[in-house]
Amino acid sequence: MGNGNLRPTITWSATASSWLVTAANVLIKNIITTISVDEVVSMFAVSAAGCTLDTVDFAEYGAKGATGQAIQFLLTTADADELTIKNCYHRQGTAANANQVWINLVGTSHTRILNNTIMITAKAATASICISGSTAVVDAEIVGNRINWLGDTITSVINCVTKSTGIVADNRVMGGAAVLLAGAIVGDAMQFSQNYVTNTAGTASGALAPAVDTVT
């Protein structure tokens, strides 16, 4: 219940704290999540099907996240099919000390990541990825997200490994200088449409990524 900052706030107070979703068909909706300790490893761990996170916002710890950082928002097992993450707003202005994979999908089927705003300064490393299918995802839908994933040497923002399938469309991705069109959005056998990427603040709009098709 509630609106804005009058919604319930859930605080992670230990680095190993994690909200475990082990029952099927759980809905978590309209809350604020935050941390009160540095380097929280993984805030949500989902291991059952049918979980939905709707308007589950993340508020940084201290000014621009400088007091402490979360490393990861959500990790799945392969049993977390039909996972939906939608309408969330996440912000953190200081990088964690460890590589950051903000949403890590591990072999899920029919995942939907829709209409989220994620503005994170991440650990400067090629292993830091905002939305990752680290084991092949099946029929995923990653659509309509606005992602500002900043950090030197970061090359990939949405990255689903070989044999991943599904739709990646209408995402707006901003990153540091190392984020290039060739690697910003990767999905092997996935279908792409109207995703835009830029690595330049203040002077340039996004370009289509991956490359424009030549269908005739």
* Parent domain of 76: 4-208
Note whether residue 216 is domain-resident: no
Give the dihedral sign, CA 189/140/81/122.
positive
Note whether residue 151 is domain-resident: yes
Note whether residue 215 is domain-resident: no
Note whether residue 152 is domain-resident: yes
Residue 216 above 80 pLDDT? Answer: no
Note whether residue 68 is domain-resident: yes
Note whether residue 214 is domain-resident: no
Q: What is the pLDDT of residues 17-47, one digit of tens each?
A: 999 999 999 999 999 999 999 999 999 999 9
Q: What is the mean pLDDT of residues 174-197?
A: 93
Note whether residue 93 is domain-resident: yes
Selection from 105, 79, 76 nearest residue 164 by Cα = 105
Total count of domains within the chain? 1
Residue at 117: amino acid letter: T
Six token digits for residue 74: 């959500």
Q: What is the pLDDT at residue 27?
A: 98
Note whether residue 213 is domain-resident: no
For residues 94, 16, 145 and 127, what is the CA-based torsion angle, rounded to 10 degrees? 70
Q: What is the pTM of this model?
A: 0.96
